[in-house]
Amino acid sequence: MNTCYHKTNFTKIASRDFIKDNKSTHNLLIYTLYKVIEILSNDENHTKLKELFSRFNVNLGDSVIIETDNAKHEGILIPRYEYADVNHLVLKLKNGYNIGINLGKIKNIKKSLDKLDQIIIDPNVNFTEGDKSRDYADSQLSNLSLLSTGGTISSKIDYRTGGVMPALTAKELNDSIPELKKIANIDPEVVLSEYSENIRPEHWTLMTKRIADNVLSGKYDGIIISHGTDTMHYTAAALSFALQNLPIPVVLVGAQRSSDRPSSDASTNLIGACTFASKSKFAGVFVAMHHTLSDEVIACHVGTRVRKNHTSRRDAFHSIDISPFALVRKDQIELCEQFTDLKFNERCTNLENFIVRSNFDDKVMLLKFYPGFDCNIIDYCVQKGSRAIVLEGTGLGHINKECFEQIQTAVKNGIFVFMTSQCIWGKTSLTVYDTGRDLLEIGVIPLSNTTSETALVKVMWCLGNFEDKEVAKIMTSNIANEFTNRIITA
Amino acid sequence: MGFCSIVIALVNNDAPNQNKHKVGLEIHQQLDSNNKLFCNCKIVDSPEYDFTFKRILHPTQSEMGSYDQAAVFESKKIKTVKYLSSKNSNCLIESDEEPPEMVNTEALDLVLTISLALHCTIEDELHVMRKIVIDGSNTTGFQRTILVARNGYLDVDGVRVGIQSICLEEDAARIINEQKDAARIINEQKDDTVDTKIFALDRLGIPLIEIALDPISNTPMFVTNVAQTIGRLLRATKKVTRGLGSIRQDVNISTNGGAVVEVKGVQQLSQLALVIEYETKRQDGLNQIAQELHNRKIHESAFIGNIIDVTDFMQQSNSKIVKKILSGDSRFMALVLREFHGMLSFEPYQGIRLGKELGEVAKSYGIGGIFHSDELPNYGITGEDVKSLASILKVDKNDAFVLVGGPSVLLNSVISELTNRIKKAFSGVVAETRSVRLDGVTVFSRPRPGSSRMYPETDIPYISINENRLKELSKHIPLPWNEVIDQLCKKYPINRTLAENIFDSQYFSLFEKIARHTSINPSFIISKLTEDFVRLERQGYDCSILTQNDLFYLFEQLDKSRISKESIPIILEKLLRNEGSSVNEIIGTLGSEGFTEDDIDGIIKKVIEENHKIISQKGMDSIGLLMGRCMSILRGKVDGEKINKQLVTRLTEHLNKS
Ligand SMILES: [Zn+2]
């Protein structure tokens, strides 16, 4: 790579929204740069571009003058999105605009003597100028551990190697969100670098262990996990079961708008999460995200009750069948009206009751019933060695009678079959109609208003840490607020 | 008023330095499209706002890893921004709560067509970019913009003017004057701190074409002509919005190859020449100030003296202004400038002073409390105060000092920006973005943004433009303006002046609608929509509050003979004075309702009856007098022509009888 790309620091909170191709927007440039290098070396389709570059002895990042049939274009060669067609190259013009030039029209490319990169990168403009960052801990403030799991909350890009190096320092974090240094001393650490949708149960185990280590170190007043939002509620549920009787709060946080946008919700969410983690009277696992569309109030949800209910809104996360646990408004924490319905320990220093059960068995299927559902899918689960099936039934928790035979077979084979509702809100009730009573008869275990996502995670956790004979009992006991004892009318 | 209806009488051909400056015009025109550029919202005028939310914007790095200095500048005075959204004209996309839809093809086709009309080279593939703007005018913190074409030209008065680039952009949100618009906000919670900026989202996302011209070294008159020619070309497409604010010019002005100053938001053509004159004068003045600094041998690196907190001292002052500034959590800082005595008030042209420039920089942070030693004692700060300050600050008679009072949190940023500004004074003109007042005077708003503000819009795929599409569009290139006017003259028929006036006006489409749906004489419609409106505006009325629906209804009533021609200006004035909630109500109060043909006939007969003596003496010559009597009863209620016709009939009958 040409060195005109200076080393830069990006601060990112994992997010994969506003994207067309299941790849995160953030670091898209780096990503595409990376990809183009790959494409240039691997993809047959891009041989045209590769040939062109080698014919004229130029490379991505070079300042060039491109001559076509009818025009002369001056600019920097820029990477192209992976999914774009192969007939154009991308040029960044002096005025900052990018354009695509049809390869077929190109007559000549020569390197420009004009160092465009020096025009574009003004070394005098430095946002952190005058901002004295913390290189010592403020003893008045609490100490937080920030574990980054998805995308990266911050990464350093080396354009020469094309590599994305997670390199998070307290300084870089404080530089990008100056408010943080007034809230807590934060130790950032990169645990994982995965998009939300790539998170697997073994990642939950890894996170659990890292959190447990930091809790047991006694150094921290709270732990923040930055996470991609798509599966954040699964992870929140997993950590809620795996880490019991936590002495301090563990707060997951994400962003619905990636932090390459000035309007990103990353910093308000992170500030809210850090405020809650350092000041909350209660310990446990929470998710901190926007409460409304405004950058004002951050809602802290219970790890097992939270669900992502919108593809793109900032306030996509809702507590199901209950109010959020607390709201963070500026530096104040307001406990919500229903927090008394929940079982949370107060913050403590005593580690004796802290229990870590970090295993998850992923031989569990989550099946959504729908009109036309093929009952043989249940047989397939049995054959594939599933140990449990979580059904997302209709309404109060029903499924077509035609499937009863297959369910019976599954149960007889020692497979646990649980019932949740696809209604999202409300409890299952299998005693109201015949269908429900029959399902109970067969041995299906209803899970009340445990959300189907939380139910899935809980079964994985049960199977990973307990003997079969204990599973039914644990699944129907309230371990981490996955059941609410009452749903209020509001 | 529409921008071209302004008379270009203010252009001064004897402007100073007219051949030394270069003027780059950027013309922004709203496109009259069904939908917004990146969502399916309709474009609706003045809706009510039913939802509000607040945001904080942060600067981000460009893809090249650098920050834009304009963005950084804005972020230092970061404020909470409040947005007003409306069900009618906004969806999740304008709130930055949903990814944008694909580009509006209707708008893109129009921009491609205009690019072809201006002989531009269209880019092979279009890339949507994010132009970082964090002053709050965009919820995303950036404006989406697409470079569509470059390197075209147009001929104006026999001179070829180059077109640098043509872009398709989304319009920004509209800043709201809370008091004026408060009535339109429903469900409002009053919890705002003073530092909240307010923007309405109805305008956000409307497609705009941006045409950037090569710098012109010519008279302000010529530049105005260029702007007018482009405005007319755009209107010739009949697919652009008219009316105030629908076309805006940014003017880039540089003198003698110096730094480029960008003046944003010139809304009226008549301002253009004034802006150019003011800016060239200001820039020349700044160069003279630089020369003076040089002459005085003041050293660029050594002029800054003490920077001292003088809050305690200023608290003793009896100055009302000072007391007012210090009422909140505010402080006063003093900045000593070595050897600067007299420099801040040095005035090469009237109103062009370094001191004023500094005041504008402070004002851009919302800080009004800035005084300098060259203008003191004044503002209630006494000669004694100045002496004491001089000794506190240890300045001698050759030095100057600046006092800055304002909120503590801002003061450091302001002082550092002020020292920056003074340093830049050594090289004359500063590259910056300025806003403009109606009289052409420009005011500092922020540093000039650079190319670092551009970042690719990763949510929207590239748009490849193929030859067939261009071939098809080239069939729709608008007729030259002259030919459009010729066509209009023939179609209605109307004379050329009327055709030009109505075509340049914002009421053109209304005119066509009225002419299509009624049998009213087209020339009459035009004279009402142009001359009458100009007259009413001159009388100080704001004609923009008249809706097109109201106006159409008014002409419909005329067509139905419910009102007379004469009553139109009366009704308009009443509407503008808010003397009725609707046209219908005002017509009611005029009492013209109930004047049926029979009534009119009855009144005429009665007048003839009452004046039969005179009629018997004067015969047909009594018509003038009779008409006067009739009009005194029916004026403004019934069309005079109609009365006259009926009167002649009845009078002839009367004379024949006797
Ligand atoms: Zn919309």
pLDDT of residue B12: 38
**At residue A338, does pLDDT exceed 70?**
yes
Comparing A101-110, A275-284, B274-283, B603-612, the range with the smallest average pLDDT is B603-612
Cis peptide, bond prior to residue B377, ω within 30 of zero:
yes
Comparing A175-179, A344-348, B111-115, B534-538, the range with the smallest average pLDDT is A175-179
Pairwise CA distance, residues B403 & A36, whole Å: 56
pLDDT of residue B191: 47
Q: Does A372 touch chain B (CB under 8 A)?
A: no
pLDDT of residue B196: 75
The alpha carbon torsion through B315, B316, B318, B319 (nearest 10 deg) reads -40
* CB-defined contacts A:B, below 8 A: 170
Residues 6 or more apart whose Cβ sits within 8 Å of residue B91 = B39, B40, B41, B98
Check whether residue A349 and residue A442 sit in a common domain: no
Beta carbons of A168 and A153 less than 8 angstroms apart: yes
In a domain, A402, yes or no: yes
- Which residues on chain A are in Cβ contact (under 8 Å) with B139? 263
In a domain, A480, yes or no: no
Closest residue by Cα to residue B637 from B598, B588, B591: B591
| CATH number assigned to the domain comprising residue A377 | 3.40.50.40
Pairwise CA distance, residues B164 & A97, whole Å: 13
B625 CA to centre of ligand 1 in angstroms: 63
Q: Which of residues 278-317 of A touch B (CB under 8 A)?
A: 292-296, 311-314
**At residue A21, does pLDDT exceed 50?**
no
B143 CA to centre of ligand 1 in angstroms: 15
- Which residues on chain A are in Cβ contact (under 8 Å) with B97? 293, 312-314
Work out the percent of chain A whose per-residue pLDDT is above 70: 80
Band (pLDDT 50/70/90 cuts) for residue A172 is low
The total of other beta-carbon atoms located within 10 Å of residue A429's CB is: 16
Q: How many structural domains comprise chain A?
A: 3
Closest residue by Cα to residue A8 from A120, A149, A134, A144: A120
Check whether residue A208 and residue A312 sit in a common domain: yes
Check whether residue A370 and residue A318 sit in a common domain: no
In a domain, A485, yes or no: no
> Which among A95, A101, A127 has CB closest to B59?
A127
Cβ contact A264–B58 (<8 Å): yes
Residue ending a domain, choose from A310, A332, A356: A356
B201 CA to centre of ligand 1 in angstroms: 9
Q: What parts of chain B have a pLDDT lower than 70?
A: 1-19, 46-47, 60-78, 178-195, 450-452, 591-596, 636-637
The total of other beta-carbon atoms located within 10 Å of residue A339's CB is: 17
- The pTM score is 0.81
Q: pLDDT (tens digit, 9 = 90+) per residue, A31-42?
A: 444 444 444 444
Check whether residue A100 and residue A219 sit in a common domain: no
Check whether residue A213 and residue A113 sit in a common domain: no
Cβ contact B452–A96 (<8 Å): yes
Q: pLDDT (tens digit, 9 = 90+) per residue, B148-175?
A: 999 999 999 899 999 999 999 999 999 8
Check whether residue A225 and residue A277 sit in a common domain: yes
Check whether residue A405 and residue A299 sit in a common domain: no
Pairwise CA distance, residues B39 & B53, whole Å: 20
Check whether residue A346 and residue A453 sit in a common domain: no
Cβ contact A120–B53 (<8 Å): no
Cβ contact A8–B65 (<8 Å): yes
Cβ contact B455–A260 (<8 Å): yes
Q: pLDDT (tens digit, 9 = 90+) per residue, A119-165?
A: 333 333 333 333 334 445 677 899 999 998 865 454 444 333 334 44
Q: At what angle do helices B467-474 and B105-117 cross, to 10 degrees?
A: 70
Check whether residue A400 and residue A452 sit in a common domain: yes
- Tokens found for residue A236: 């929140």
In a domain, A135, yes or no: no
Check whether residue A153 and residue A40 sit in a common domain: no
Pairwise CA distance, residues A478 & B540, whole Å: 73
B446 CA to centre of ligand 1 in angstroms: 29
- Look up residue A265 and give its DSSP letter: S
| CATH number assigned to the domain comprising residue A161 | 3.40.50.1170
Check whether residue A242 and residue A211 sit in a common domain: yes
- Stretch (H or E) spanning A410: helix A404-412
Residue ending a domain, choose from A335, A356, A377: A356
pLDDT of residue A392: 97
Cβ contact B461–A90 (<8 Å): no
Mean pLDDT in residue range A468-477: 96
**At residue A19, does pLDDT exceed 60?**
no
Cβ contact A127–B75 (<8 Å): yes
In a domain, A482, yes or no: no
More confident residue, B631 or A272: A272
- The domain containing residue A111 runs over which residues? 8-120
Q: pLDDT (tens digit, 9 = 90+) per residue, A71-92?
A: 899 998 888 876 788 889 999 9
- Tokens found for residue A378: 């249940």
Mean pLDDT in residue range A393-407: 95
B205 CA to centre of ligand 1 in angstroms: 7
Check whether residue A41 and residue A178 sit in a common domain: no
| CATH number assigned to the domain comprising residue A21 | 2.30.30.520
- Which residues on chain A are in Cβ contact (under 8 Å) with B151? 71
Separation in Å, CA of B450 to nearest CA in chain A: 8
**How far separated are the first and last CA of chain B, in Å rounded?**
56
> Which among B57, B92, B165 has CB closest to A262?
B57
The pLDDT mean for chain A works out to: 82
Q: pLDDT (tens digit, 9 = 90+) per residue, A124-135?
A: 333 333 333 444
Active site residues of A: 152, 229-230, 308
Residue ending a domain, choose from A304, A339, A356: A356
Separation in Å, CA of A191 to nearest CA in chain B: 25
Separation in Å, CA of A120 to nearest CA in chain B: 6
In a domain, A136, yes or no: no
